[in-house]
Structure 1
């Protein structure tokens, strides 16, 4: 399979042009067509010589993924299913502004981006890992989701959260290469402060990102305030216990100015006990972290259910009374299978790529 132009940095493209005997400025022209003008084909790059366009067509794809399906909901949340070169699928979700979740200007469009096909970490409530892990996404496939979402929606994506399929830190090299493209002036030119990486708790990579010069934001998929609860639903906690995780977050705070976010999916009779709220409040206050509470989004094949709304509000109120910045997100997109991996799981099961997962 030929490489995609969306995976090439300016330096790589400049080196390719030199190898082909082309002037260096051709690299800038190509990047402008790809990332700014968002063309549908290499043939549309009309300021390139015909011979160069022909060579590019023969040696490269323009895009790393193709749109397979779009689902939209009444609240304008849209989910995009993309087909990859090997026949597998990945998905992204475009979310309209939600001040209760993000707390900034009201016209923002946030894209939830995937980093892997499937996931090896097996969080018990998540659809992404139901069929196991297949592979990492390349930088072209990660950055390409953003470009494709803008082309399909006709809207500027101005906030990214790496909270889709996969564990981003398990694909650290590919993720950071994609972020270079996304933040570069010649690429999507999105400021690093508008990027949030979510991790289930890979301690070494939390510290690595803390040492990275870009001001990328960090969210922790916590979902349990104690080892006892976290062990039940998050296998990663068996390798890095909460004490190690919170020590890494202390290191983050020593290196970064951005406040941490703790993500907490509320699951009935699993982690919604109000004592968990009190313990969570203690951790969040010490870490100066915001807390996003998310009632569980039903996943076919899993038995978990969301708590009653009054229980969710009581959990939130304990955090607020303790002085923690806490929001309760009555999530968008519940009617379009918006939980991570659901749409991809249905598509690959229908096509016989994977077997229907057994309930766990």
Structure 2
């Protein structure tokens, strides 16, 4: 459903005699107001929209025929109107409780999403025990595959298929929430795909997740490898989300080696746009930096990175490399990681190390891929 054009849903007649012949977008992703307009176009009172909204977002309805508060005759007329939920194709769970889902979409494409629980008393919690769950994060995908082809990332190795819709992005969050039977607290747009190449649907999903699912914008993180002019455009929306830029190198030569798209977007231009983002939004940027042994983890790389980031609000998130089969990069030893951290700290750069969850389930950062098997 278009945010501004709910009238595209159907005509204004009370009956929908040939609904299966009408191209109707999924209802998932629509607001109370949009659903209210739509039900009135079907000859129903506006409050029916609020009922549908509650059943879709809070009660897990996957079809309109499940919504028992709707009139029976009308339910039968609209039974084929899609809610927009995927089906689970595959599910794997790591020892730390992280769950990777392969979700089958309406056209048969497969997309991955990851549920990442954080527990109050550490990671060693029995499988399925959510009694001491402190935080539930969902890593959502925004595209089927990814066109960026970063050398160390499994997702880009499988190529790009298409963008995900607003409904398909929101569905991932609801899927995890229903499986864990817990409210999702945080969302990171760090799954398959480049969010800023699908910005309209990503923006729609952000507003839906905030207003309709009830997750605060400050608990959302949008990750990008850096697309020319898109960070500046994203800033104009004045969202309270965290922007994470996948940097992975302190200079243009090395970045081009790791990220092919950097060939047409010099690192100096990227940094200028990042500084402008901070000026416009007043929010700091997180720079993601995957540490590859002997490639970008040397002391001189840390010193060069510190010089690059000096002078504006930012935070460096170091991610020790998570292995994939296609390439032979290695994760640095702990002493090399610690030395990198110390150099950044000495230069007054805020830094943290993120050891990815779900490693043995191929659910960690950089391991997501399109796989129908």
User: What do the CA deviations read for 1:10-33 (whole angstroms, capped 9, x no partner)?
Assistant: 343223212111111111110011
Corresponding residue for residue 65 of structure 1: 86
Identify the match of residue 76 of structure 2 among 45, 49, 54: 54
Q: CA deviation at 1:40?
A: 4.4
Corresponding residue for residue 179 of structure 2: 152
Q: Structure 1 segments of 4 or more deviating over 4 A?
A: 340-344
Give yes or no for the alignment of 1:271 onto 2:296.
yes
Identify the match of residue 8 of structure 1 among 5, 15, 30: 30
- The alpha-carbon distance between structure 1 residues 344 and 230, as it changes in their structure 2 partners (threshold 3 A), is closer
Compute the TM-score of the two structures, normalised by the length of structure 1: 0.89
Corresponding residue for residue 56 of structure 2: 34
Q: CA deviation at 1:285?
A: 3.4
Corresponding residue for residue 358 of structure 1: none
Task: Map residues 323-334 of structure 1 onto 2, 5 A cutoff.
Answer: 323-334=348-359
Identify the match of residue 216 of structure 1 among 230, 241, 252: 241
SS at match of 1:178: helix
1:299/1:339 contact within 8 Å kept: no
* Inter-partner Cα distance in structure 2 for 1:325 and 1:227: 22
SS at match of 2:222: strand
Number of aligned positions between the proteins: 339
Corresponding residue for residue 42 of structure 2: 20
- The alpha-carbon distance between structure 1 residues 128 and 145, as it changes in their structure 2 partners (threshold 3 A), is same
* Inter-partner Cα distance in structure 2 for 1:160 and 1:113: 7
Task: Map residues 1-360 of structure 1 onto 2, 5 A cutoff.
Answer: 3-58=25-80, 60-97=81-118, 107-184=134-211, 187-339=212-364, 342=367, 344-345=369-370, 347-348=371-372, 350=373
* Inter-partner Cα distance in structure 1 for 2:312 and 2:265: 18
SS at match of 1:276: helix
Q: CA deviation at 1:213?
A: 3.0
Instruction: Say which is worse superposed, 42-51 or 28-37, in terms of deviation.
Output: 42-51
Compute the TM-score of the two structures, normalised by the length of structure 2: 0.86
How much is the aligned-residue C-alpha RMSD, in angstroms?
Answer: 1.9
Unaligned runs of 5+ in 2: 1-22, 121-132
User: What do the CA deviations read for 1:202-224 (whole angstroms, capped 9, x no partner)?
Assistant: 13111111110321210000000
* Inter-partner Cα distance in structure 2 for 1:142 and 1:207: 23
SS at match of 1:264: strand
2:218/2:242 contact within 8 Å kept: yes
- Larger C-alpha radius of gyration, 1 or 2? 2
SS at match of 2:45: coil
- The alpha-carbon distance between structure 1 residues 341 and 230, as it changes in their structure 2 partners (threshold 3 A), is closer
* Inter-partner Cα distance in structure 1 for 2:221 and 2:61: 27
Q: CA deviation at 1:55?
A: 2.4
2:191/2:368 contact within 8 Å kept: no
Q: CA deviation at 1:279?
A: 1.4
* Inter-partner Cα distance in structure 2 for 1:276 and 1:298: 21
SS at match of 1:93: strand
SS at match of 1:4: coil
Instruction: Say which is worse superposed, 37-46 or 106-115, in terms of deviation.
Output: 37-46
- The alpha-carbon distance between structure 1 residues 64 and 2, as it changes in their structure 2 partners (threshold 3 A), is farther
User: What do the CA deviations read for 1:90-124 (whole angstroms, capped 9, x no partner)?
Assistant: 1111223399xxxxxx9222111100000111111
Determine which structure has greater relative contact order: mean sequence separation of CA pairs < 8 Å that are 6+ residues apart, divided by chain length.
1
1:17/1:23 contact within 8 Å kept: yes
1:92/1:145 contact within 8 Å kept: yes
